[in-house]
């Protein structure tokens, strides 16, 4: 029987990025019955695996295995599917085949919305690569003449999730998503990322700050945790609210 669930697509440069930046959104939509699919371009084996590299006798293959296992577990906790492309790290260099596969992913999934990285990130150029690839393949998936199977894509909105240092990445928090109901799930997913324990507290504090801002911006008083997003394309509406 075909899967009739609504869907969402998350493109993560490295193995853990989706957990810190969008774990709440993923858990929330999963709890609402969405099929959430994460595409991970890289295991982050060179750049974002400091904890793993501190262990004696570590090898690149072992780091990849550790990061793959951690991310798979985190995705499972959040209620999402995950697929890895293993496109290298520092730099991520997606092959032509990976680009085609991503177009096929878009066409298969027909997502209601897409989450990915910011246009700029002076701390990690791979994040900008992930943004570019996400937007490029979305456009290819819309093109009737692009030669891969599947129904051409409509125009799902793309939201940029919050980078680690938002100001330097020219990130604007235009959307604050209340993730209070699934905060414990995000917390559990964050704690499963054992190579980056230093980020647990940081992202908990950020969630609280965005939650406070959500209330200040007119959200219900009960909001305790939120995640910030920026739109890439205009929102289409018949109401200015
Ligand atoms: Zn990253």
pLDDT at 64: 86
Which phi and psi angles does 125 have, rounded to 5°? -60, -20
pLDDT at 53: 66
The confidence band for 47, taking pLDDT boundaries of 50, 70 and 90, is confident
Do the beta carbons of residue 112 and residue 153 sit within 8 Å? no
Tokens 């969630």, residue located: 207
Distance 156 CA to ligand 1 centre (A): 23
Each residue of 50-102: pLDDT tens digit? Answer: 777 687 887 888 888 888 999 999 999 999 999 999 888 889 999 999 999 99
pLDDT at 196: 74
Half-sphere exposure for 135 (CA within 13 Å, toward CB): 14
Distance 127 CA to ligand 1 centre (A): 6
From the list 73, 27, 82, the residue with the least C-alpha distance to 195 is 73
Q: What is the Cα–Cα distance from 214 to 228, expressed in whole angstroms?
A: 9
Distance 181 CA to ligand 1 centre (A): 26
Distance 217 CA to ligand 1 centre (A): 29
Distance 131 CA to ligand 1 centre (A): 11
Mean pLDDT over the full length of the chain: 94
Q: What is the Cα–Cα distance from 133 to 219, expressed in whole angstroms?
A: 34
Q: Write out 166-214 in H/E/C secondary structure.
A: CCCCCCCCCEEEECHHHHHHHHHHHHCCHHHCHHHHHHHHHHHHHHHHH
Distance 155 CA to ligand 1 centre (A): 26
Distance 41 CA to ligand 1 centre (A): 10
Query: In Å, what is the CA distance from 1 to each residue of 5, 166, 185?
Result: 12, 43, 29
The DSSP line for 75-110 is HHHHT-EEEE----SSS----HHHHHHHHHHHHHH-
The sign one gets for the Cα dihedral 217, 221, 224, 227 is negative
Q: What is the pTM of this model?
A: 0.95
Distance 172 CA to ligand 1 centre (A): 19
Q: In the chain, what percentage of residues exceed pLDDT 70?
A: 97
Report, as an integer, the average pLDDT of 125-150.
96
């Amino acid at each position: 029987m075909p899967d009739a669930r609504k869907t969402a697509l998350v493109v993560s440069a490295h193995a853990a990025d989706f957990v810190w930046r969008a774990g709440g959104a993923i858990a929330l939509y999963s709890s609402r019955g969405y099929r959430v699919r994460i595409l991970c371009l890289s295991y982050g084996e060179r750049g974002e695996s400091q904890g793993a590299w501190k262990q004696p006798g570590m090898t690149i293959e072992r780091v990849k295995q550790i990061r793959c296992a951690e991310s798979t577990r985190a995705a499972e906790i959040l209620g999402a599917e995950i697929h890895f492309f293993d496109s290298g790290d520092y730099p991520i260099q997606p092959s032509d085949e990976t680009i085609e596969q991503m177009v096929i992913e878009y066409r298969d999934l027909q997502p209601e919305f897409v989450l990915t990285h910011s246009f700029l990130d002076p701390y990690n150029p791979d994040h900008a690569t992930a943004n570019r690839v996400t937007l490029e393949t979305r456009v290819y998936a819309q093109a009737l003449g692009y030669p891969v199977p599947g129904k051409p894509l409509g125009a799902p909105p793309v939201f940029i999730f919050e980078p680690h240092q938002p100001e330097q990445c020219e990130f604007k928090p235009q959307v604050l998503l209340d993730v209070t109901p699934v905060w414990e799930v995000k917390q559990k997913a964050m704690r499963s990322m054992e190579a980056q324990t230093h980020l647990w507290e940081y992202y908990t504090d950020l969630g609280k700050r965005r939650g406070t801002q959500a209330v200040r911006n007119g959200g219900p008083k009960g909001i305790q945790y939120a995640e910030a997003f920026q739109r890439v394309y205009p929102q289409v509406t018949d109401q200015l609210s």
